[in-house]
Structure 1
Amino acid sequence: MLWHHPDAILCCSFKEKPMFTFANKAGLDMLETSLIALQDLKLDKIFDESGRKALFSDISKLMEQVLFETRFLTTHDIKLRTSSLL
């Protein structure tokens, strides 16, 4: 299902050296590469310094939002389960 999604979907690892780990067909077409060559394509080859700073800033904000929502949903789910048992 992800493979044929019309929007480009790119998955990245932000460990020691940021790298792509997956892209659907639209993502591969956008990057003009193949699935095999994807891991050799480093983010620093795609973004300039300001682009990398913006990307890392956005990733940081996104991760904070996901962490908050995960905590909220988990707490909310526990409250719903507890109240349904009463």
Structure 2
Amino acid sequence: MASSSGNDDDLTIPRAAINKMIKETLPNVRVANDARELVVNCCTEFIHLISSEANEICNKSDKKTISPEHVINVDCY
């Protein structure tokens, strides 16, 4: 959910999407709310990292739009 302040730190993945992913992946396991919050935070951080790196690659190739190739070329280790 994004706030009106425009701060990137306020952007998160919808909780319903995370809850669905957890339920489909672990149908017979109860997951605490703190664990769900951790998954949301990790996913948000991962997406932020990938998009930042892809943006750098995009800028180096003098493009204005991030393409799938830019994301694929992200070197995460």
Q: TM-score range by the shorter chain?
A: 0.3 to 0.5
TM-score w.r.t. length of structure 1 = 0.40
Q: Which has the higher strand share?
A: 1
Computing the radius of gyration from Cα coordinates, the structure with the larger value is: 1
Q: Which has the higher contact order (CA 8 A, sep 6+)?
A: 2
